[in-house]
Amino acid sequence: MSPAASRFLHRFGGMGFSFVLLIVLLAVNVALNPARFAPHAWGTLIGLAAPLIAAALASTPPILGGNGGIDVSVGPAMGFVNAIVVAVLINGAGIDSPFILVPVAILVGAAIGLVNGFLAAVVRIQPIVATLGTYLVLLGLTLAIVPSPTGTVPEWLRALSGQYSILPILAILAIWWGIQRFPYFHQLMATGSDQRAAYTSGVNVTAIRILAYVLGGMFAGLAGLSLSGLIGSADANVGPNFTLIAISAAALGGVSLVGGKGSLIGAMIGAIDVFLLQSALTYFNVSTFVLQVAYGLVLVLAVSFAALQERFIATRGRPS
Amino acid sequence: MKQLLAPLREHPVVGAVAIAVALYFVMASMGYASAFSIRSMLVLAALLAVASVGQTLVIIIGGIDLSIPFVIGFANVVAATLTGDGMPFWQVCLIVGTLAILIGAVSGSLSAWLKIHPLIVTLGIGTIVQGLVQLWTGGFPSGSAPAFVSQFVSIGGQIGPFGPIPVIPVPGLIPAVGLLMVAVTLLLAVTPLGRRLYALGGNPTAAPYALISPIAMWTIAFAISAFFAAVAGVLLLGFTGSAYGDVGQPYLFQTIAAVVVGGTSLMGGRGTYVGTVVGAIVLVQIRTILIGQGLDEALIQAAFGAIIIVLVSLYGREPHVRNTI
């Protein structure tokens, strides 16, 4: 294998399988349902996928930070942002300017991320337990704010599930693109790969991890906006469902749950895979139970193939 | 404060026991320590403890099992349906137990063999199991448990009288979980399997050199986990009276919380089942106190989450990276 090819494999191999899956699923979907995938319907289509994609992107930075880093509160955080924005600010206080609501959503998300980061990196509670705690707190608070689905959303927010549905995802990718220009990105990956080596090289492991949770929280805030646009109301029961599926999607896209390996682009491809899979399965109009079995089966098979491929790269495609 | 908490970090079970005792006095002062409420709390804690047997073992080897609620639901519905069809109960248990062991073995071996994070594998396998069960029953399970299972877990149940031994006013489940606690503790402390589980969890790189097969250990631990989840599912069938596929859902996070509050480290290699049992008791106590405050379900959930964080921060903290070099 040529050095360039093997370097390419080593760098992007982790998400290679999910990329092939993406092409296959896209072809299947377009063949099954051309109208739904026609260019003029892209806005709506992306709007359906956007909350999941954004949730997968939000799950990724804490995982990259390693040492068991994970944020299971992403789903409830989206629900909480949805409740604050739609029920409290729009329908409660009558504020409906995007110039106030978008920053508020991002700030609320960042604050949640800061709490998670503090608990995981400073108090040093195992991240899955710490974020499970915030999961329950956020879910409880959201249910207290909106006991039952309520409220309406202004036109611009509704457009986030239509013609502007790509904006939250672009915003996340733009922030991450900026982050990658800074040393922070490499310090995060180094911390995730081997925190002891990173620490002895002078990396402030604690601060790096906190910031990873804050970034994840900000992305969860944007995901919450996207979700608000899609459901068009405040609903406490929708958000939490995103947590585990988003983490699975990130893993499918080659984000190693051990840390230090993977990318946001990978997580996004994994999430699109999951969305296209659901979309194709729905087309067959089978019972939701068959859908569930097929979905679980494909998830397990997909991560298995991805792992087998990873193993192949580890033995054959080592950069020379 | 630091010195005060230092011994707790060495023996986190002591911390969990201390909290359980403290909560008991809180409850007594609030008037929740009547015989009936203690009995009902013991039953709820015992059910959680049964469901958490496997989570303890799995976390000791450094894994995590998210398929427990799905296996609980599977056992609950399948046992009810088969019993309703007139199958003898021992056959029902044999079928449900064997299938559960197979489910767990698949999750464990797949995670270990391909080195996929068990969170993803158990979630996927759990989703498949739940879908298959619903497909089989059409989403509307029927049937119920034999009367003696209900009697075994009933809050008002009792043991005896056996000849001269007077009636003991707790259901059979309570002493059974006591025996289970002794058995699991012995399994972990004195059997080769137990030592291997700790060795693998403590140092996954070194363990294979000591001829401990990670794949075998993961398969066994996850199989045990699924088996006890199935036991919990059948017991819950007796407890609630009718089959319900989602009966296990609260156990997704509660088993993890019970294990962690009981002082078992999610990093693997450390932990006890006694701790998990105490953790289960603490969780049930907290819920009881919160419900007694007249809070609504949403705020109970929020307070519950906050309390778990506070408890774990008292004695379940991880070392700083500078202390691991």
Of A306, A294, A283, A296, the closest CA to residue A37 belongs to A283
H helices within chain A, ranges in order? 3-32, 42-64, 74-82, 98-117, 127-145, 155-158, 167-179, 183-193, 195-200, 205-231, 242-252, 264-283, 288-316
Which single residue is written with the structure tokens 């790969």? A193
State which residues form the domain around B230. Answer: 40-158+166-280
Identify the closest residue of chain A to B110 by CA–CA distance: A304
Identify the closest residue of chain A to B306 by CA–CA distance: A133
Is residue B34 in a domain? Answer: no
Split at pLDDT 50, 70, 90, the class of B14 is confident
Interface of B with A in 262-301 (CB under 8 A): 265-267, 296-301
Is residue B305 in a domain? Answer: no
Give residue A200's region: left, alpha or beta (phi > 0; psi -120 to 50): alpha
Interface of B with A in 132-161 (CB under 8 A): 132, 134-135, 139
Digit-coded pLDDT (tens) for B111-131: 999 888 898 899 899 999 999
Is A199–B266 a contact, with Cβ atoms under 8 angstroms apart? Answer: no
Is residue B220 in a domain? Answer: yes
- The domain locations on chain A are 3-316
Mutate to test the interface with B, among A67, A80, A137 (most CBs of B within 10 A): A137
Report the pLDDT value the prediction gives residue B250, as an integer from 0 to 100: 85
Comparing A105-109, A174-178, B73-77, B84-88, the range with the smallest average pLDDT is B84-88
Mean pLDDT, range A152-173, rounded to an integer? 92
Report the pLDDT value the prediction gives residue A2, as an integer from 0 to 100: 63
Comparing A21-35, B161-175, B233-247, the range with the smallest average pLDDT is B161-175
Q: What CATH number was assigned to the domain covering residues A3-316?
A: 1.10.3470
A286 at interface of B, judged by CB pairs closer than 8 A: no
Is residue B261 in a domain? Answer: yes
**In angstroms, what separates the C-alpha of A175 from chain B's closest C-alpha?**
28
b/e sequence B282-302, b meaning 16+ C-beta within 10 Å: bbbbbbbbbeeeebeebbbbb
**In angstroms, what separates the C-alpha of A244 from chain B's closest C-alpha?**
8
A244 at interface of B, judged by CB pairs closer than 8 A: yes
Rounded to whole angstroms, the Cα distance separating B242 from B137 reads 14
Interface of A with B in 204-233 (CB under 8 A): 205
Is A248–B298 a contact, with Cβ atoms under 8 angstroms apart? Answer: no
Q: How many structural domains is chain B composed of?
A: 1
**In angstroms, what separates the C-alpha of B314 from chain A's closest C-alpha?**
10
Digit-coded pLDDT (tens) for A241-265: 898 889 989 988 888 888 888 999 9
Report the pLDDT value the prediction gives residue B196, as an integer from 0 to 100: 94
Is residue B64 in a domain? Answer: yes
Interface of B with A in 217-256 (CB under 8 A): 253, 256
Mean pLDDT, range B133-158, rounded to an integer? 82
Is A196–B320 a contact, with Cβ atoms under 8 angstroms apart? Answer: no
Is residue B125 in a domain? Answer: yes
Of B193, B180, B188, B253, the closest CA to residue B219 belongs to B193
Is residue B114 in a domain? Answer: yes
Instruction: Go through chain A and tell me how many residues it has.
Output: 320
Identify the closest residue of chain A to B303 by CA–CA distance: A137
Which residues share a beta bridge with B168?
B159
Is residue B290 in a domain? Answer: no
Pair of tokens at residue A52: 């999941």
B309 at interface of A, judged by CB pairs closer than 8 A: yes
Digit-coded pLDDT (tens) for B194-208: 999 999 998 888 898
Interface of A with B in 2-61 (CB under 8 A): none
